[in-house]
């Protein structure tokens, strides 16, 4: 593995959403600000969308870690649930004990009682749902009905929706207009521009322990932006493979060539021109020799 070679304490470009590597700049900083302000204001629905790989799950986990004891959080990472399963999942997250054959009216009553209990104690309940573009229409409607629970002045539960752009298309349906109109704040995560991409790469390297300020050459960062389109997940993949390539060749810096070789082996990237095909074959051999390192880096 290349960690010691590049002065790293841990892999800097893994795909797991580790909040220690949260990039507190650009869109992610703005999105986090929007979420915190909206939650402080007691708004009912908040929505964050972004393309695949732009860091929505990491943002969600960062928000969970920042909310203090005034908040009670419920997190549902896979909301591909029917309305009954959604209510059960919420009840479990709130610590409610219930029989599996409980009637839905009774379960809703238990949820309401628990929300009222938290409100009386000065606590605000926040439900966070990831991948909500996959939530069925009838479940989205059931979610809206859950937010009807309120006191004279405050909602008993706030909901934060994280999803891909398809979520906006879903909410544009006329039958979901009541839910759409309840979204008080929304934010769209974009990709990294060239300047922000360089900061992102060196932020992750610093967190991982590297102090070499010029590890990635300017041309490498330019090529990295072109191949990854600024999508953080693809940036991570390409950087990891480029570090492997440089380590295997005994190089001390990452060049545009290392990025091009990595892009040839990575799905959904902008590919270099035909003249790099031969070089990519050599990189494939390197990958075969370092497969154990890949498994270690991604925790597989």
Please indicate, yes or no, whether residues 137 and 157 belong to a single structural domain of this protein. Answer: yes
CATH code of the domain in which 71 resides:
3.40.50.300
Question: Among 188, 207, 184, which Cα is nearest to 37's?
Answer: 184
One digit per residue, the tens of pLDDT, for the chain of length 300 reads 789 999 999 999 999 999 999 999 999 999 999 999 999 988 789 999 999 999 999 999 999 999 999 999 999 998 899 999 999 999 999 999 999 899 999 999 999 999 999 999 999 999 999 999 999 999 999 999 988 877 666 789 999 999 999 999 999 999 999 999 999 999 999 999 999 999 999 999 999 999 877 899 999 999 999 999 999 999 999 999 999 999 999 999 999 999 999 999 899 998 766 544 444 444 554 454 344 344 434 444
| Measured distance CA(132)–CA(136) in Å, rounded | 9
Please indicate, yes or no, whether residues 259 and 292 belong to a single structural domain of this protein. Answer: yes
Q: How many domains, the chain? A: 2
DSSP for 75-97, written as a single string: EES-----HHHHHHHHHHHTT--
Query: Is 21 part of a structural domain of the chain?
Result: no
Please return the burial class of 98, using the count of CB atoms within 10 Å of its CB with bins 0-12, 13-18 and 19+.
middle
Please indicate, yes or no, whether residues 53 and 86 belong to a single structural domain of this protein. Answer: yes
| Measured distance CA(135)–CA(81) in Å, rounded | 7
Domain-ending residue, one of 189, 220, 252: 189
pTM for this entry:
0.86
**Which residue segment(s) compose the domain that 167 sits in?**
41-189
| Measured distance CA(214)–CA(63) in Å, rounded | 32
């Amino acid at each position: 593995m290349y960690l010691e070679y590049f002065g790293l304490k841990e892999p800097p470009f893994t795909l797991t959403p580790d909040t220690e590597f949260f990039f507190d700049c650009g869109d992610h900083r703005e999105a986090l600000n929007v979420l915190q302000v909206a939650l402080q204001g007691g708004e009912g629905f908040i929505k964050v969308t972004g393309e695949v790989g732009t860091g929505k799950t990491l943002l969600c986990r960062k928000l969970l870690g920042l909310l203090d004891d005034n908040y009670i959080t419920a997190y549902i990472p896979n909301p591909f649930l029917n309305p009954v399963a959604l209510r059960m999942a919420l009840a479990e997250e709130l610590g409610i004990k219930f029989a599996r054959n409980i009637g839905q009216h009774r379960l809703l009553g238990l949820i309401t009682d628990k929300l009222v209990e938290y409100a009386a104690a000065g606590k605000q309940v926040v439900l966070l749902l990831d991948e909500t573009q996959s939530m069925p229409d009838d479940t989205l409607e059931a979610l809206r009905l859950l937010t009807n629970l309120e006191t004279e002045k405050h909602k008993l539960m706030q909901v934060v929706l994280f999803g891909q752009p398809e979520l906006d298309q879903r909410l544009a349906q006329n039958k979901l207009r009541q839910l759409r109109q309840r979204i008080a704040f929304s934010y769209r995560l974009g990709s990294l521009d060239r300047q922000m991409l360089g900061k992102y790469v060196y932020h992750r390297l610093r967190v991982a322990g590297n102090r070499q300020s010029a590890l990635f050459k300017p041309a490498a960062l330019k090529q990295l932006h072109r191949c990854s389109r600024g999508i953080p997940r693809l940036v991570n993949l390409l950087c990891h493979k480029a570090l492997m390539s440089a380590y295997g060749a005994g190089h001390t810096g990452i060049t545009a060539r290392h990025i091009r070789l990595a892009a040839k082996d990575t799905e959904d990237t902008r590919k270099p021109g035909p003249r790099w095909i031969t070089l990519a074959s050599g990189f494939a051999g390197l990958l075969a020799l370092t497969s154990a390192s890949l498994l270690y880096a991604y925790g597989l």
